[in-house]
Amino acid sequence: MRRLGSSRGISTRVGKTSLCALAVSALVWAFPAPAALPVQLADGEPLPTLAPMLERTTPAVVNIATFTTVQVTNPLLADPFFRRFFNNRRYRRTQAAGSGVVVDAKRGYIVTNSHVVQRADEISVTLADGRTLPATLVGSDEQVDLAVLQVAPDELSEIGFADSNELRVGDFVVAIGNPFGLSQTVTSGIVSALGRSGLGIEGYEDFIQTDASINPGNSGGALVDLRGDLIGINTAIYAPSGGNVGIGFAIPANLVRVIMDQLIEHGEVRRGYLGLSVQALNPKLAEAFDVKRRQGVVVVEVAPGSAAETAGLVSGDIITRIGDQQIAKVGDFQSQAAMIFIDDEVAMEVLRDGRNKHFKLQLGENKPKRVAGERIDPRLGGTELQNFRNIEDTAMDAGVLVSDVSPDSLAEQFGLRAGDIIVEANRMMVGNLSDLRDGCRRSSRQILLKIYRSGEYGYVAIR
């Protein structure tokens, strides 16, 4: 699996052998029978074509060029001896390209993939009429891989949004973008599958799969229906051999629109945290839980202190609906979770012990919540803990912060201090509170904690 990435140049020379092979192949396949029209047409009746739709749509798909300054690493600098003589830093300028879609011509907003503009120092947009405009980054969401740019709203064309919930497998689609730097390239296909998830591409995955040919440089381009309305933003391909094999993925338009509105309003996505880990309900799990239902997602873990725990959800609940959306698979859950923001009140329906139950989850301000240590393990009584992320130290990027330790508590007696960051529990890596709880359960005799304190690592054993 690979993201489409950005096209970083294309050779203008093609070997004669390749061209000849293609020509011969074309001749061989051309001999058996002349090409026939797809439908029977009366004399003088125009041929079916997508040209009128594309004439309206393609002007809204743009080429995005990014420029990034990167530091050149000299391998000699790894040696302290040479570092004394070669201590000057060297930089080089790199260029990459991708695609984008104008979705608001009056305000100049363009949607593209986050990875197309990531770490860019300068962004420019080339329109279908040849004009090149400087662009500013309004905001990006790496969890969904979307970004919004803005250019001067000067005679722009836009593409309207379709309702991607209305898509069906087999619907015809058209992909428009700039693969390998080739501007205004159009390919066609069908919707191959819906709700693709578990691909390991993004944090939230609910992809449209299509066999329309998509290649590097198509990132951020448009996937449209036969009316020319936007049904998705092309983002990734499955390429086991390095090239296109007819399996491409696009972010659904309904998700694009919601994330775009958040980025325009706040400059970031203020996503709420449900605090749920789930897996798909399958026949074996349905039998184990003694339920007749065969669709839904099973709650595997409820994070301590999360909105889900506060509302009363527990492990083993089968989620069947979030808001107005029925939850039949993990992709449905991921799609809804990606569109839940701070201060939202979320209605959730679950199946528990054969009975339907309804819950209201209140998503508060997106700050790490403090949890009493005894809720994780009785031996951690007297502490307050919270998830900790985005640590500047490159040796560690996640753990559990000990925000407070009560005097004379067991944890304090064995050496745990406020400000410690727990990164291991009983030799198990800890990235969050759920990991810490799992690690503590590995031993009833003691909790061996590896902590990070004042730039150094150490161990604390609590018995």
Residue 382 predicted with pLDDT over 60: yes
Residue 13 predicted with pLDDT over 50: no
Looking at the domain assignment, is residue 208 inside a domain? yes
Looking at the domain assignment, is residue 35 inside a domain? no
Looking at the domain assignment, is residue 41 inside a domain? no
Residue 463 predicted with pLDDT over 70: yes
238, 269, 300 — which closes off a domain?
269
**Is the domain of 315 the same as that of 410?**
no
Dmax of the chain from CA atoms? 95
Residue 219 known to be catalytic: yes
Phi (first) and psi of residue 56, to 5 degrees: -85, -30
Residues paired with 452 in a beta bridge = 421, 457
**Is the domain of 177 the same as that of 64?**
yes
Amino acid letter for position 343: D
**Is the domain of 262 the same as that of 317?**
no
**Is the domain of 66 the same as that of 177?**
yes
**Residue 41 confidence class, pLDDT cut points 50, 70, 90:** low
Selecting among 99, 197, 219, 434, the annotated active-site residue is 219
Each residue of 444-460: pLDDT tens digit?
888 999 999 887 889 99
Looking at the domain assignment, is residue 34 inside a domain? no
Least confident of 120-134, 153-167, 234-248: 234-248
Selecting among 145, 211, 225, 317, the annotated active-site residue is 145
**Is the domain of 306 the same as that of 158?**
no
Selecting among 99, 115, 206, 332, the annotated active-site residue is 115
**Is the domain of 1 the same as that of 107?**
yes
CA 77 to chain CA centroid, Å, is 36
Looking at the domain assignment, is residue 287 inside a domain? yes
In the chain, the number of structural domains is 3
236, 269, 302 — which closes off a domain?
269
**Is the domain of 254 the same as that of 378?**
no
Residue 115 known to be catalytic: yes
Report pTM: 0.66
The pLDDT of residue 456 is: 83
Average pLDDT estimate for 178-199: 84
Amino acid letter for position 289: F
The pLDDT of residue 5 is: 56
**Residue 16 confidence class, pLDDT cut points 50, 70, 90:** very low
Residue 162 predicted with pLDDT over 70: yes
Share of the chain above pLDDT 70, in %: 80
327, 362, 397 — which closes off a domain?
362
Residue 266 known to be catalytic: no
Average pLDDT estimate for 150-156: 91
**Is the domain of 330 the same as that of 228?**
no
- State both tokens at 148: 């919004």
Looking at the domain assignment, is residue 57 inside a domain? yes
**Residue 26 confidence class, pLDDT cut points 50, 70, 90:** very low
**Is the domain of 250 the same as that of 388?**
no
**Is the domain of 311 the same as that of 413?**
no
CATH number of the domain bearing residue 293? 2.30.42.10
Whose CA is closest to 171, among 189, 195, 191?
191
Q: In which domain, by residue range, is 331 found?
A: 276-362
**Is the domain of 340 the same as that of 385?**
no
Residue 240 predicted with pLDDT over 60: yes
Out of 84-88, 91-95, 126-130, the most confident range is: 126-130
Average pLDDT estimate for 277-285: 86
Looking at the domain assignment, is residue 104 inside a domain? yes
CB 346 within 8 A of CB 361: yes
